[in-house]
Amino acid sequence: MSAATTASTATPGTLTRGEALRRQVDYWATVYRRTWRGSVVSSFATPLFYVLAMGVLLGGFIDGDPDVLEGATSYFRFVVPGLIAAHAMQTAVGETTYPVMGMVKWQRIYDSMLATPLQCRDLVGAHLLFVLFRLATTCAVYDLVLAPFGVYGSWWGPFAAFGAQLLVGMAFAVWVYGVSARLRSEEGFGVLFRLGVFPLFLFSGAFFPIANLGEVGAWVARCTPLWHGVNLSRMFALDQVTWWLAGVNVAVLAVLLLAGWRWAVTGLERRLVS
C-alpha cells in the first residue's frame, strides 16, 4: 500500500471542507504569482485581438440582420458573447489537462498533498476553484472591455452573460479533469483537442447561427454543452431572452457540472488511492 493510500485512509474526516481548502490557498496563490505573466497573451491579448478581427473587420462585410443573427443588429454583437463562452471552454480545458497530469504523474504534487489529512475531494475542489478564478478573471476582462462598444442590450446583460460563461467553463472543467486524472499518457490530449475541443469551438454557434448547419447539423449542435453556454451568453448579452430555453440551457449545464464533479473525484481516487 502506498504512502498516499495510507495517509488518505488513516485520517478521514479530520478536516472540514473549509479548512481543507484554506490549507491549499498558499500553494495556488504561489502558482498564480509564478505563472500569470506567461498566460497574459494566451488568456487576454490574443483572444481580444481575435474578437476584434472577427467582429469588427470581418463583421464589416456581413449584414446586421437581426432575423439572421439571432436578434443581433451587427455581426460584432452576435459573435462576441459566443466567443467569450467558447474561450471559457478553452481556458477550462487548458487548466485541467496538462496541469492535472503534471500534478499526478510528473511532479507528483498530489501525492505529497495526500500525505497530509487532505483527501482527494479536497484536492479536486481546490484545483477547480483555481480554475473558476482563472475563468472569472479572463471573462470579466472581456465583459468589461467590450461593454462600452454596445455589445450588451441591458445593464444586467454583462453580469448574466458572465455567469453563463462561468457555468459553461466549469461544466467542461469537471469532465476534462476526470479524463486527465484517468489518462496514463499525454498523447490522449491530442485526441481530446482534435476531436473534441476544436469541433465544438467551430460548430457550436459561436461564429455563425447553427441554422446554417442544416436541420440535422443544428440538432447535433444543440446537443453539445458549448452550444448551451453560447446560446445562454448571447441571449443575456443581447437582452433577447427566451426564458424557457434559458432554463433548459442552465439545467443542462448544471446537471453536467454536478455529474462531472463526481466523475472528477472518482477519477483522482482511482488513480491515487485505489
Q: 51 Cβ partners below 8 Å, 6+ apart? A: 79, 80, 83, 84, 142, 146
Helix (H, G, I), strand (E, B), or coil: what is residue 5? helix
Mean pLDDT, the chain, rounded, equals 87
Residue 219 and residue 213 in contact, taking contact as beta carbons nearer than 8 Å: no
Residue 57 has pLDDT above 50, yes or no: yes
Q: Kindly list the distances between the CA atom of residue 17 and the CA atoms of 21, 24, 80, 110, 254, in Å, as whole numbers in the listed order.
A: 6, 11, 37, 17, 21
Predicted confidence at residue 3, as pLDDT, reads: 41
Confidence grade of residue 17 (pLDDT, cut at 50, 70, 90): confident
Measure the CA–CA gap between 16 and 121, rounded to whole angstroms. Answer: 12
Predicted confidence at residue 11, as pLDDT, reads: 45
Confidence grade of residue 241 (pLDDT, cut at 50, 70, 90): very high
Question: pLDDT per residue over 179-196, tens digit each?
Answer: 999 999 899 999 999 999
Question: pLDDT per residue over 198-240, tens digit each?
Answer: 999 999 999 889 999 999 999 999 999 999 999 999 999 999 9
Residue type, 181: A
Measure the CA–CA gap between 16 and 38, rounded to whole angstroms. Answer: 34
195 vs 47, higher pLDDT? 195
Residue 273: other Cβ atoms inside 10 A: 17
Residue type, 143: D
Q: What is the DSSP letter of 223?
A: T
Predicted confidence at residue 42, as pLDDT, reads: 66
Predicted confidence at residue 20, as pLDDT, reads: 87
Q: What is the DSSP string of 162-209?
A: HHHHHHHHHHHHHHHHHHHHH-SSTHHHHHHIIIIIHHHHHHSSSSS-
Q: What is the 3-state secondary structure (H, E, C) of 109-143?
A: HHHHHHCCCCCHHHHHHHHHHHHHHHHHHHHHHHH
Question: pLDDT per residue over 69-94, tens digit each?
Answer: 887 888 888 988 999 999 999 999 99
Q: What is the DSSP letter of 95?
A: H
Predicted confidence at residue 7, as pLDDT, reads: 41
In degrees rounded to 5, what are phi and psi of residue 67?
A: -70, -25
152 vs 255, higher pLDDT? 255
Highest mean pLDDT among 2-6, 39-43, 243-247: 243-247
273 vs 12, higher pLDDT? 273
Question: pLDDT per residue over 141-183, tens digit each?
Answer: 888 888 887 889 898 989 999 999 999 999 999 999 999 999 9
Helix (H, G, I), strand (E, B), or coil: what is residue 74? coil
